[in-house]
Structure 1
């Protein structure tokens, strides 16, 4: 099987692009980042809606299949915040972490979950696949680990005693919300490629 189908990752986030390139490595695809300067406004109220908006916009702009994810952290004590606003909660990763830890300072309840919605769309406007994965955990009192990005250093995965930032990529794939969503996506994507 030749690697001829281009799949554009609908993201400007380098960490996310590398993670997807690793996840998609075994498939007959040419994985490319979205064009620089392409900015899609996320107006959805759910992770799934935002993933769909991004996948459709990038597929249309590039003329190739596009894979988008919208993921974020929902914290119980903060009524599900930052949720779909996870990336816009503060300007940088360290500031987002600081703001979240500050908001949780008076709280004993620190349960949270990461959710990842994935969507693959075609340039003609067809949504080809949509899945969602979830990972339950707790927010730590201070950042731990130097792997990963975003809220990874303060999200301890339930029953592991470790944050995402303390895990190797392969381990994060098996526990993580994006990895779980990808496990649901992979057979559907393989089927799409084989019938393409």
Structure 2
């Protein structure tokens, strides 16, 4: 069975990806290969950050691997927080990041946003990219306790629940990460 290293130590992301891919591939984390390095994310696009992760692992370990970068883009904020989603407030505390986002949006009636994921795969000495996007809206108050990140304030278009109110199965069927991982899995077949 093919083994791939996912350039993450984020247990939530790892669980989501493994659930989407199922048992077709063995997905290993950075901890599984004893990599505890702080891999740089200095790009200004999701593609650049995702590729930085795979380049780092290929150069250091020579393994088949993939990395991703994901974020929330809010139209009324000119696409913020974008690639800075995880550290929008200057910290990695998501409650503080959500507070800042809601404060910046204020009473703005344009609440349209999207989650984007870009996956960079290094396979057979070639770089490949897979993207997933889901459109939706930002609500004014948190709802739900499942998921992570901005999930409590994002309602996907055509739904009435936030990502944080959905079961993992419901979210994984429609999420930006599910779309990108599905493209990755199709490519690897």
**What TM-score comes out, normalization by structure 1 length?**
0.88
Q: Which residue of 2 aligns with 1:112?
A: 113
2:20/2:182 contact within 8 Å kept: no
Aligned to 2:26: 30
TM-score normalised to structure 2 length: 0.91
Aligned to 1:98: 99
- What's the offset of the Cα at 1:52? 1.1
Gapped regions of structure 2 (runs ≥ 5): none
Supply the RMSD in Å over aligned alpha carbons: 1.5
Correspondences of 1:65-144 after superposition (within 5 Å): 65-90=64-89, 91=91, 92-122=93-123, 126-127=126-127, 129-144=128-143
For 1:55 and 1:157, the matched residues in 2 are separated by 29
- Does the aligned pair in 1 maintain the 2:17–2:178 contact within 8 Å? no
- Superposition deviation, residue 174 in structure 1: 2.0
Residues 7-33 of structure 1: per-residue CA shift (max 9 Å, x gap):
111012111111112122231x32111
Distance 1:173 1:23 in 2: 7
* CA deviation vs aligned residue, 1:17-51 (integer Å, no higher than 9, x gap): 11112122231x32111144211111222111211
Q: 1:88 to 1:141 in 2, by over 3 A?
A: same
